[in-house]
Every structure is written in structure tokens, then in C-alpha cells.
Amino acid sequence: MAKVQMPPRREMGVLLEIRNLKVEATVYSPGENPRDVTIVDGVSLALKRGKVLGLIGESGAGKSTIGLSSMGYGRGGVRITGGEVLLNGRDILKGGVQGLRRVRGSEVCYVAQSAAAAFNPAHRLMGQVVEAALLHGTATKAEAEKRAVALFTKLRLPDPKSIGYRYPHQVSGGQLQRVMTAMALCSEPDLIVFDEPTTALDVTTQIEVLAAIKDAIRDNGVAALYITHDLAVVTQVSDEIIVLRDGKMVEHGETRQIIEAPRMDYTKALVSVRSIEHEEKEPTPKPLLSVRNVTAAYGGGAVKVLQDVSVDVHSGQTLAVVGESGSGKSTLARVITGLLPPIAGSITFASRTLARRLADRSRDDLRELQMIYQMADVAMNPRQTVGTIIGRPLEFYFGMRGRERDKRVAELLDEIEMGKGFIDRYPAELSGGQKQRVCIARALAAKPKLIICDEVTSALDPLVADGILKLLLRLQKIEDVGYLFITHDLATVKAIADSIAVMYRGEVVRHGSKTQVLTPPFDAYTDLLLSSVPEMEVGWLESAIKGRRMESAGN
């Protein structure tokens, strides 16, 4: 007897419908029996034609997994074990491999986070952009290439007629991301999955890519799933937002409702992130660290990366150094720490002139100037326990041993809001936020006067980053330590800085107290930088694009 199948409930214009999606993976940890973990549990959503749905959540929330499931794909051994994925009214999970092949690249396309890693470096861009259209036979080569050029023009790529004949390494990251969007649009799909397409880009570039993507979506009438962890970004492009946490749906609503009137506590926490109260301090008469007219270069003077840079950090205060990638912020940190001896200029620290080379500095110079890194996992030796990592500076600088050292380590763990139980753990047994906390404790153990923080929160989820920033501010009050805070994130700067230095192409273009720097009139670059920071406000993108005075460097 033929099974009577209920006709699928066809709402007008529903393109994608996911019902009770369940995704599982098998974890093989050494020494244990393999076990199944549920990555996505019972998520349902519906997407109408031409609409954009934002999926937002922290890392591990399952947002990419849900996005890829709309193509029937499970990344890295992940299995879709339950639910239905209806695309154009058909359940694509039941179509078998052949059915999936027909869907992928013609009805659904995918834009990956790292365009640089997603393009084949050995082929020209054009061949890769038109590949899907040719494969599915939706267009001849000439038609597809014509369409690609039209898309390049629409996405505001420079020189649209010939950019397709370049190789991926010959265009910048922001441009490559736009080429990938063109690739997704070229086979005229019904749905595009954007997986964090602007996360790896600088703010000034991000806004342009975002605007281009938004226009292209609107003009081509495709629907899109937009996956990101940045609520401000998703606000600009999507009509609806789904907030995810640990593979479950937390809240689903119109963009405006989520931003302005969130219902769930978790969404409220996400929306209110970066609302740190910090009172700006007056500069002291004598700066703690004073960098004067420093010029530095790589390759024996061939490539100048810092030119005539002067900044001051005051005791117990925070100087934020901002700029896009390649502006020389991290090089400044290397020069101050002595890893890269400058070719001109001087550095004064605590009324002493610092030696240029690391090897010539005294132990006290080294002790009082500590550093915290962006990637906490590579900044700690994976073979040392937390106790050794934090305890080593105590041994090294203060000669503490045995019980005395362990007692101090426990105190430090307490200060960073972690318990004594962590003392025997290895870095692999810590979460991302905990790792960064241990790095902070290691820096504090040396009783420094200044800590250089190199992008310390940019690899962390917003809520975790928030916790780290609050911790840093609290520690500053207790220990009276100065921070030189390197970041590209202006929201962070506004939250914690006392003074700001804006860097552009190796030069400091603006330097002063926070109020001075953030008060108009601005120079052209500061204006561009400030106007590029996405705000959690519907319609911000359009007004920001209109008000811009200068093009970004496109790094």
C-alpha cells in the first residue's frame, strides 16, 4: 500500500523551511569510548524568498552547522540525524547524493569566512566564479562571464572587466570577499549562506563589503542566511534574527525587536555588551612610558613600518592604540619590548631610558614591562601546568620557591576570578576566556608597571571579551598598572581607554585624551575609522556610507 504523504504545507513564498533539525557528531577522545554529542537540537526556522535571516551566537552555538545544513552538508564528520530541510518544497535530505549535487551551487550557494583560504590559489578568479553556473548548465561560458562582470561592477570591485583574470593572491582580502559573493550570485541561486563573511576584515573594509553584499542581495532578490557573532553587523543586513546558544534557539524575532526590545536574558546580555562604565582619568604630569620620534624598519631599513612615532602612557591609565591591520600597531609593541630595535628615536620608561635591544635591558626593565598576547593558546606552553606558567615569573624575578610560590599563585588565580583547582591544569583543559585570564595572571605575577595588551580580546566571544575587559579595569584599580592597549575594535577603545593614539600606515595621525580624540573636528582617517564601526541600530549602514569622506586603504 502506498504511503499517503501529506502535501507539504506551502506558505506563500516560503523558500527554506527547517523543521526540528538535529545534528550530531561523534567525539573520539583518547582513552574514552566514542560518544555522540548533539550540536544542534530541535531548531526550526522558515525563510521567505528575498529575505535575509541572521543567525547569531557565540562560537559553538551551532550557527555554521545550521547554515550548512540548508545545503545538506555536515562539516567534519558532523551528521544530520533528525528533522527536515525543505528547500523549494522538497526535503533535500531525502534526495540522496545526486539530489544534493543538483541543489548545491544552483539553488543554494555558500560564502565562506576566509576568502583567502576558500579560493584555489592556482586558478584565476573568473574560472572559479563561473564554475558552478557551467557545471549546472544554467549558462554558457560567455553568458556566465558576462554575468560575472556585471556582478563585479555591482559589487563595486575596481576594474570589473579585468579583475577576473587575476589570481586570488593579487587582490586584497576585502575584494576577494566580494569576488566570492559574486561567485555565489553567479549561478543565480535562490539562497545564499553567508558564513561570517566580514569577520576577518578591517572595520573600514567591512563596511564596504557589507554595503556591497546588502545591495547585491536586494537587487538579485535572493534570500540569505547571514551567520555572524557580531550583532551590530547582522542588524544592518537582516530582516529577522535568530539567537542561538549551545545548539538551541534562544529567541527569534524581527531585527528591530531583537535589538530594541529583547525578551530573553541571554539576548539582553548580548545586546548590552560593551556598556562598561569607565571614567576617563586626567593625564599625570610625568608619563610612565614615553615613546619619542621612533622609526623602525624590517629588512635592515628597507621597509619602514613606523615613522616618527611618539606616544605617552601614564601610570595607572590606559592608552589605546587603534588602526587597521598593517598600520604598525603591533610593531610598536615589538619596539617597546625590545624585540625590534628601532633605527631612530628613544623610549623612556619609569624615568629610565630603555636600551634598544632586549638583550641589553636590565631584569627590572623586563619585569616592569609585561605583555599579553592575542592568541592565548599559543602564548602558553602547552606542556606546562597553570601553576608553572604563573609560578615561573615569581621564581624568576622574586626567587620564590615551594610553598611560598604556590601560595602566591593561588592568590593570583583568585585575583583573576579562577579557583585554586586550576593550578594543576594544562592549557588544553581551559576555555578561551580562562586561557586569557591565566596570561593576565602571568603578567601580573611580575608586578609590572605597564602591560602591553596586543589585541587581547579580539579572538574571544563578545560576552567573554567583556568579562576580560572588566577584569583588566578592576586589576588596574588594584595594582595601579598602566596598559598600552592595541586593538582594531573601537567599541573596546571607547569602553576602557583614558587616552587614544590613532595609527595609519606607520604614523600616529591623532593622539590625545579620549575626549580630545573622539571630539570633532576629525582628520580624514579618524573620521573614516569612527564612522566605520557598526552600531546596533537599524539603518546605520546607509547613513554611514553616505557620510564617508575617504576610501579605506582596502587592506
Give contact residues for other proteins (rule: CB under 8 A).
29-32, 337-339, 358, 361, 363, 366-367, 370-371, 373, 375, 378-385, 392-393, 396, 426-429, 442, 446
Q: Mind giving me the DSSP string for 91-108?
A: EGGGSHHHHHHHHBTTTE
Cell 522558515 found at: 46
Distance of alpha carbon 357 from alpha carbon 490, whole angstroms: 32
The per-type count for the chain, helices as H runs and strands as E runs, is 21, 20
Residue 48 pairs in a beta bridge with 14
End-to-end CA distance of the chain: 64
Region of residue 492 (left: phi > 0; alpha: psi -120 to 50; beta: else): alpha
Instruction: Name which of 371 and 495 has its Cβ closer to other proteins.
Output: 371
Burial per residue of 74-99, b for 16 or more beta-carbon CB atoms within 10 angstroms, e otherwise? beeebebebbbbbbeeebbbeeeeee
Least distance (Å) between residue 208 CB and other proteins: 32
Can you give the length of the chain in residues?
555
Min dist CB 16 to other proteins, Å, is 40
Residue 187 is placed in which grid cell?
Answer: 549561478
Q: Which CB sits closer to other proteins, 238 or 330?
A: 330
- Closest to other proteins by CB, 373 vs 522, is 373
- In angstroms, what is the minimal distance from the CB of 369 to other proteins? 8
For residue 433, the minimal CB distance to other proteins (Å) is 17
The least CB distance from residue 334 to other proteins, in Å, is: 9
The least distance separating other proteins from the CB of residue 255, rounded to whole angstroms, comes to: 39
Question: Residue 379 Cβ, how far from other proteins at the closest point, in Å?
Answer: 4
Cβ–Cβ under 8 Å, residues 107 and 191: yes
Cell output for 304 = 619602514
Question: Beta strand 108-111 with 303-313: parallel, antiparallel or unpaired?
Answer: unpaired
147: its cell numbers:
554575468
The CB density around residue 141, as the number of other CB atoms within 10 Å, is: 12
The CA distance from 74 to 94, in Å, is 15
What single-letter amino acid sits at 439? C
Please, which residue, 367 or 514, has the CB nearer to other proteins?
Answer: 367
Q: Closer CB to other proteins, residue 66 or residue 386?
A: 386
In the bound state with other proteins, the residue whose beta carbon lies nearer, of 462 and 482, is 482
Instruction: Please report which helix (H) or strand (E) contains residue 296, including its range.
Output: strand 289-298
- Residue 440: CB minimum distance to other proteins, A: 13
Q: How far is the CB of 366 from other proteins (least distance, A)?
A: 4
Which amino acid appears at position 18 of this protein?
A: I
| Residue 113, C-alpha cell as written in the block | 569566512
| Closer to other proteins by Cβ: residue 273 or 472 | 472
Nearer to other proteins, 397 or 540 (CB): 397
Q: Is the Cβ–Cβ distance between 251 and 310 less than 8 Å?
A: no
Nearer to other proteins, 428 or 524 (CB): 428
Q: What CA dihedral angle connects 210, 212, 218 and 222, to 10 degrees?
A: -80
Order of all β-strands in the sheet with 344-349: 303-313, 289-298, 344-349, 352-353
Tally of CB atoms within 10 A around 326: 16
Q: Which is nearer to other proteins, 265 or 429 (CB)?
A: 429
What's the closest the beta carbon of residue 455 comes to other proteins, in angstroms? 12
- Give whichever of 164 and 427 is closer to other proteins, judged by the CB atom: 427
Q: How far is the CB of 160 from other proteins (least distance, A)?
A: 40
Sign of torsion over alpha carbons 109, 113, 119, 125:
positive
CB contact at 8 A, 481 and 288: no
Q: Which of 115, 329, 320 is nearest to 201 (CA)?
A: 115
Query: Shortest approach of other proteins to residue 7 CB, angstroms?
Result: 52
Angle at 169 between CA 164 and CA 171, to 5 degrees: 55
Nearer to other proteins by Cβ, of 366 and 518: the residue is 366
Specify burial of residue 182 (Cβ count, 10 A radius: 0-12, 13-18, 19+).
buried
* CA nearest to 486, candidates 518, 515, 450, 534: 450
Please report how close the Cβ of residue 457 comes to other proteins at its closest, in angstroms. Answer: 16
Q: Compute the radius of gyration of the chain from its Cα atoms.
A: 26
The least distance separating other proteins from the CB of residue 337, rounded to whole angstroms, comes to: 6
* CA distance linking residue 279 with residue 192, whole number of Å: 44
Q: For residues 32 and 551, which CB has a smaller minimum distance to other proteins in the complex?
A: 32
Nearer to other proteins, 18 or 305 (CB): 305
